[in-house]
């Protein structure tokens, strides 16, 4: 009975979203001509586009409602739930893009890795990867392993109209860290021990993960995503020289996986946490847009990347808890700095925190749009 009620509620909610989204985007029915995609390409735009990492998630009561009694991995593999959750922040906040609802470990699970996403902890791998024999447990990812992802993207894009969908995947370094550590880690000691101690095994593992990440991005782009983002959440733990040696070649491979899709040209966003010293190298890995976390100003990021890329970011998620006046002032500063960049997509410097007031997020979107209108 609960499942039938949930399905009926999502059907009605999606119908309302379809009407609202199509009303907004009717004049601009091709997401490739949307403000966000133009900004990603460094083209002139009528206003600064905005979306938020983790905009679909625990900060929304409607998200918590549809996730009741459904595990995270199951939520990511059910096209009805993926569609509903992906659309929720577009309805509520009027953001300029949807981000595909998934998790960076979904392609690993699809490839057969025994893992779970534990509430309050994150991804947990049953048998951590530490030896060459472990590599044999990690096959390449093929499209037939993720047909539900194709279905989900097609359902979402059919309802979004001209609003672009951003597909995403985890970058090889971050995925390797989860596999080697067995879960989240503060120091990544096992990851670094393997990386420095057995460079050949490290590179072989990351090459396999680059194939998996790239294939996951490629499936989403082929199904209709208008842009893709590669998340490297933990790579800020490395110095630049080690990034160039151990990481950049594999991230480049993952990003390049969408380059030769017939008739499809999607902008590529590359984001990491604590990566202020790596921004130029992350752009050189094949990005069109470099994501900037809240620790580095957009002006500094523009200088460090030689103004060769559009920038994305970078409001501190914690500032969404501040009084409106200082929050609005920081939003204004970021919008102004973004105008000096080759292109700018307003976002947070990391994800929306679970206890964030959704009304504040909506208010920030409204301010960015009104303040940046040309």
Residues involved in catalysis: 54, 58, 67, 103, 178
User: DSSP letter string over 72-125?
Assistant: HHHHHH-HHHHHHHHHHHHHHH--S-EE----TTHHHHHTT--EEEETTTEEEE
For residues 144 and 73, is the Cβ–Cβ distance under 8 A? no
Residues in contact with 140: Cβ distance below 8 Å, sequence separation at least 6, in sequence order: 111, 208, 211, 212, 215
Taking residue 366's Cβ as centre, other Cβ atoms within 10 Å add up to 13
Q: How far apart are CA 364 and CA 41, in angstroms?
A: 24
| Contact predicate 143/83, CB 8 Å | no
Q: Between β-strands 268-272 and 289-291, what pairing exists: parallel, antiparallel or unpaired? A: parallel
d(CA 317, CA 286) in angstroms, rounded, equals 27
Cα distance between residue 138 and residue 133, in whole Å: 10
| Distance from C-alpha of 177 to C-alpha of 192, rounded to nearest angstrom | 9
Question: CA 352, 79, 153: angle at the middle one, nearest 5?
Answer: 75
Q: Could you tell me if 108 and 175 are in contact, meaning their C-beta atoms sit under 8 angstroms apart?
A: yes
């Amino acid at each position: 009975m609960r499942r039938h009620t949930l399905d009926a509620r999502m059907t009605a909610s999606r119908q309302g979203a379809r009407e609202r989204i199509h009303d907004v985007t009717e004049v601009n029915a091709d997401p490739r001509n949307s403000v966000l995609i133009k900004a990603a390409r460094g083209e002139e735009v009528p206003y600064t586009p905005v979306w938020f990492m983790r905009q679909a998630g625990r900060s929304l009561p409607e998200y918590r409602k549809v996730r009741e009694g459904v595990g995270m991995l199951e939520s990511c593999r059910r096209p009805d739930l993926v569609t509903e959750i992906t659309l929720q922040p577009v309805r509520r906040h009027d953001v300029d893009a949807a981000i595909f609802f998934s998790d960076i470990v979904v392609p690993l699970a699809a490839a057969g890795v025994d893992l779970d996403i534990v509430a309050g902890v994150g991804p947990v791998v049953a048998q951590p990867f530490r030896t060459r024999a472990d590599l044999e447990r990690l096959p390449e990812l093929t499209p037939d392993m993720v047909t539900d992802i194709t279905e989900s993207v097609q359902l979402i894009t059919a309802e979004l109209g001209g609003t672009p969908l951003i597909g995403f995947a985890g970058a090889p370094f971050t995925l390797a860290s989860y596999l080697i550590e067995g879960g989240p880690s503060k120091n990544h000691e096992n990851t670094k021990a393997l990386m420095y101690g057995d460079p050949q095994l490290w590179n072989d593992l990351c090459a396999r993960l680059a194939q998996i990440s790239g294939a996951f991005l490629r499936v989403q782009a082929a199904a209709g995503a208008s842009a893709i983002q590669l998340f490297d959440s933990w790579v800020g733990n490395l110095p630049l020289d080690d990034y160039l040696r151990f990481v950049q070649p594999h991230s480049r491979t993952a990003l390049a996986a969408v380059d030769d899709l017939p008739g499809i040209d999607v902008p590529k966003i590359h984001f990491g946490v604590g990566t202020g010293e790596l921004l130029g190298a992350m752009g050189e890995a094949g990005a069109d847009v470099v994501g900037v976390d809240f620790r580095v100003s957009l002006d500094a990021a523009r200088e460090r990347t030689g103004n060769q890329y559009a920038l994305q970011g970078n409001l501190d998620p914690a500032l969404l808890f501040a009084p409106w006046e200082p929050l609005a002032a920081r939003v204004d500063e970021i919008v102004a700095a973004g105008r000096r960049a080759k292109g700018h997509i307003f976002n947070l410097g990391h994800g929306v925190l679970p206890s964030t007031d959704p009304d504040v997020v909506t208010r920030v979107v409204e301010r960015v749009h009104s303040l940046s209108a040309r």
